[in-house]
């Protein structure tokens, strides 16, 4: 019984009145209860603890008795009437440290009082935490899935009751025990699910303070060598198409071992060629890397899982991996794109991967694993708008890209986050130009704000130069480090790196220029115009020009071949090759790409004398040495899954193809982002300006690699 329930302060009956009443009623002799026993209980108590004390006495007439406990601090508590010989208890808390004497006396139902009991001296101190529990000991079978019991005890200097809990390992922590007497043992048990060493600690609390952890017990838990569950192929990360003699493709699978054993995976290709992975934790995706060689082929691929001891599950899931021929589609990702893809490093699960980076009309900056064929991320920003400019990728992998929402962004290589490093702009005028990246890390950008701006690598504006109209084309950096740009009024500008104007020239009144300039080693700047002209500019003058007849617009940016010839696509559906000496088309050129669609994107020149170009729905490969035989191949651009049909190429910034080190060509359209197999030796041509914005990272800088 608690102090509140048992003891009622001030409830002692007036002795004389009670005695008189009982004498009048019963007429019994006046006999008092015997003196109570010395109170028993703790002789050392903390100021924060409530301590309970007991005593008892007898009565010669077997009358009921009540007890008064005197606590030695000017306070007392009285119990109710109890049968003689029964224990009486009361509890008390001393708020102040010191020494106190606890005694008790009894009064029977007739009102007669006993004498005071012998005193119990109690020392009241500040609270002390329990001692660390003893090192736990264990019993039971040391096996996975079996119960193991641990026992310990803890003492409290103040004599407080304690509660004990265990830290069992494997993330298991027990609840606190019920209140235990100081020094009492406590046993709790655990079942482990993984084999290996387990370290077990115990801790105690007195309700106010907590002990330190005990010395640890340790136990090695064994598990029966049971095979893991069947593996699952992770199709979302594993490609099903690729090229032979190209990149190392990763094949992912996942399995769970019921006892937590590490696992490895063995992949079989056509049942003979096999590759074994390293060890991976249970439940974590494991992979192997494999490079197919030889001719095109459809491989029957299967995988088996083994635990660390070699026990295996006989289930072998299967898939088909096909190496495709030149001109065949490898993969496609649904989306609507106006921009050209760029190639740069990307991080996924801590590994550096080759990423295809391209902004979409929906406002996402896609990062696609070039060879695994899945979107690593779709980076987003608040208040997104279309990405009509292409991404330019810096030496450290930073992606610089302008958005129609009026901001030019710098995104880091860490694709696990959507946050950008910095942004520049006014939030109103679309940043439509693809940024040009200088060797010192500065960036040149612009768009509808009618300016070209130089930014530091941290996004700080260093200078801005006002143009006459907005800039739809993208700036270029020449071998002399001048910055060349065009605006919608028909002006071409050459700016020094300190923002001073080197020269400017009007190529025609209100002649709109959407194409980006290309710069040769001798400083000649080539510009295509919407009124159908190719212009060669140098030192502020027009050196020569070529005009398409009948007149058709040229949205394609020019590129420069190894022989110095200039290539561009035209709105009449043809691909042109202009001799730099005669300033006329080379014999056999132009070639007709499409009789119904325009060719607005920029051609891509490769080292194997192949040029890639697209019309509204297909990618074409032409042999530079045999243009009259027509395209080497034509590939329709439709997402393989069938989610979206192939769509028109955009007319805003004319998504243009890019090629990687294995000859794989990447291009975006209004319905998706695609990878198409080229020739193994068909890497980017080593010319002055072989593709849109110069190189696969879209640096827009002469000499960049």
302, 374: one domain: no
Instruction: Report residue 639 CA to chain centroid gap.
Output: 27
537, 454: one domain: yes
Per DSSP, 3 falls in state: H
pLDDT in tens, 50-73: 899 999 999 999 999 999 999 999
339, 465: one domain: yes
Residue-level pLDDT at 647: 38
Give the length of the chain.
705
Per-residue b or e along 153-175, where b marks 16 or more CB atoms closer than 10 Å to that residue's CB: bbbbebbbebbbbbbbbeeeebe
pLDDT in tens, 606-623: 999 999 999 878 999 999
Measured from the Cβ of residue 295, the count of other Cβ atoms closer than 10 Å reads 9
Q: Are 485 and 499 in contact (CB under 8 A)?
A: no
Residue-level pLDDT at 445: 97
Residue-level pLDDT at 24: 40
Q: Which residue range is the domain that position 180 belongs to?
A: 137-221
566-569/559-560 β-pairing? antiparallel
Q: Are 211 and 230 in contact (CB under 8 A)?
A: no
Q: How many helices (H) and strands (E) does the chain have?
A: 2, 55
501, 646: one domain: yes
Within a domain: residue 360?
yes
Residues in Cβ contact with 260 at an 8 Å cutoff, skipping those fewer than 6 apart: 193, 194, 195, 196, 282
Q: What is the CATH number of the domain that holds 260?
A: 2.60.40.2550
Lowest mean pLDDT among 145-149, 381-385, 518-522, 677-681: 381-385
- How many structural domains are present in the chain? 4
Average pLDDT over residues 419-427: 93
283, 305: one domain: yes
What confidence tier does 641 reach under pLDDT thresholds 50, 70, 90?
low
Q: What is the CATH number of the domain that holds 175?
A: 2.60.40.10
551, 648: one domain: yes
Phi and psi, residue 446, nearest 5°: 170, -170
Tell whether pTM > 0.85: no
pLDDT in tens, 199-248: 999 999 998 889 999 999 999 988 777 899 999 999 999 999 999 999 99
Domain boundary among 291, 323, 355: 323
Distance in angstroms (rounded) separating the CA atoms of residues 665 and 261: 42
Within a domain: residue 691?
no
Q: Are 269 and 205 in contact (CB under 8 A)?
A: no
With vertex at residue 393, the alpha carbon angle to CA 387 and CA 396, rounded to the nearest 5 degrees, is 140
285, 348: one domain: no
- Give the tokens for residue 370: 């070039």
633, 550: one domain: yes
């Amino acid at each position: 019984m608690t102090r509140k329930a048992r003891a009622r302060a001030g409830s002692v009956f007036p002795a004389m009145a009670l005695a008189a009443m009982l004498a009048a009623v019963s007429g019994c002799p006046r006999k008092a209860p015997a003196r109570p026993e010395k109170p028993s209980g703790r002789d050392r108590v903390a100021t924060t603890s409530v301590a309970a004390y007991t005593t008892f006495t007898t009565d010669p007439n077997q009358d009921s008795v009540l007890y008064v406990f005197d606590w030695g601090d000017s306070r007392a508590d009285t119990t109710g009437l109890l049968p003689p010989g029964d224990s009486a208890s009361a509890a008390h808390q001393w708020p102040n440290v010191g020494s106190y004497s606890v005694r008790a006396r009894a009064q029977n139902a007739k009102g007669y009082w006993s004498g005071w009991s012998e005193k119990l001296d109690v020392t009241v101190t500040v609270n002390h935490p329990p001692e660390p529990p003893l090192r736990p000991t264990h019993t039971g079978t040391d096996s996975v899935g079996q119960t193991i019991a641990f026992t310990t005890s803890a003492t409290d200097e103040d004599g407080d009751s304690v509660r004990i809990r265990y830290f069992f390992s494997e993330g298991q922590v027990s609840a606190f025990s019920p209140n235990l007497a100081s020094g009492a043992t406590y046993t709790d048990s655990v079942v482990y699910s993984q084999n290996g060493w387990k370290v077990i600690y115990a801790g105690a609390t007195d309700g106010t303070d907590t002990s330190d952890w005990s010395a640890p017990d340790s136990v090695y838990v064994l598990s029966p060598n049971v095979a893991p569950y069947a593996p699952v192929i992770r199709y979302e990360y594993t490609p099903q198409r690729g090229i032979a003699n190209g990149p190392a493709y990763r094949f992912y699978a996942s399995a769970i071992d019921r006892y937590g054993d590490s696992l490895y995976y063995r992949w079989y290709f056509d049942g003979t060629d096999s590759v074994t992975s390293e060890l991976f934790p249970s439940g974590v995706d494991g992979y192997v890397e494999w490079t197919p060689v030889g001719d095109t082929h459809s491989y029957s691929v299967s995988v088996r899982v083994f635990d660390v001891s070699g026990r295996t599950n006989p289930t072998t899931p299967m898939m088909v991996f096909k190496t495709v021929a030149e001109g065949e589609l490898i993969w496609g990702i649904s989306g609507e794109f106006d921009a050209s893809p760029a190639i740069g490093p990307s991080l996924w699960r801590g590994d550096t991967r080759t990423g295809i980076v391209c902004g979409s009309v929906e406002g996402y900056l896609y990062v696609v694993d070039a060879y695994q064929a899945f979107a690593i991320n779709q980076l987003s920003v608040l208040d997104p708008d279309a990405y009509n400019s292409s991404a330019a990728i810096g030496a450290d992998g930073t992606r610089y890209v302008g958005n129609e929402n009026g901001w030019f962004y710098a995104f880091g290589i860490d694709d696990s986050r959507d946050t950008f490093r910095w942004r520049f702009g006014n939030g109103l005028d679309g940043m439509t130009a693809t940024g040009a990246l200088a060797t010192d890390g500065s960036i040149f950008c612009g768009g509808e704000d009618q300016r070209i701006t130089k930014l530091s690598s941290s996004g700080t504006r260093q200078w801005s130069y006002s143009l006459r109209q907005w800039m739809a084309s993208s700036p270029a950096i020449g071998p002399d480090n001048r910055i060349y740009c065009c605006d919608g009024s028909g002006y071409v500008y050459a700016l020094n790196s300190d923002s001073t104007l080197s020269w400017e020239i009007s190529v025609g009144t209100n002649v709109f220029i959407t194409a980006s300039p290309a710069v040769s080693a001798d400083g000649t700047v080539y510009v295509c115009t919407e009124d159908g002209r190719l212009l060669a500019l140098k030192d502020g003058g027009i050196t020569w020009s070529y005009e398409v007849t009948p007149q058709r617009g040229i949205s394609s940016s020019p590129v420069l071949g190894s022989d110095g010839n200039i290539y561009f696509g035209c709105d009449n559906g043809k691909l042109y090759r202009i001799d730099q000496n005669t300033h006329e088309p080379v014999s056999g050129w132009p070639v007709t790409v499409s009789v119904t669609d325009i060719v607005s994107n920029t051609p891509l020149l490769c080292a194997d004398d192949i040029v890639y170009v697209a019309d509204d729905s297909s990618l074409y490969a032409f042999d530079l040495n045999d243009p009259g035989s027509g395209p080497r191949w034509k590939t329709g651009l439709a997402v393989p899954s069938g989610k979206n049909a192939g769509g028109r190429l955009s007319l805003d910034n004319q998504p243009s193809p890019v090629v990687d080190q294995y000859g794989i060509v990447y291009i975006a359209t209004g319905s998706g982002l695609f990878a198409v197999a080229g020739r193994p030796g068909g890497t980017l041509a080593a010319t002055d300006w072989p593709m849109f914005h110069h190189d696969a990272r879209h640096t827009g800088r002469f000499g960049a690699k």
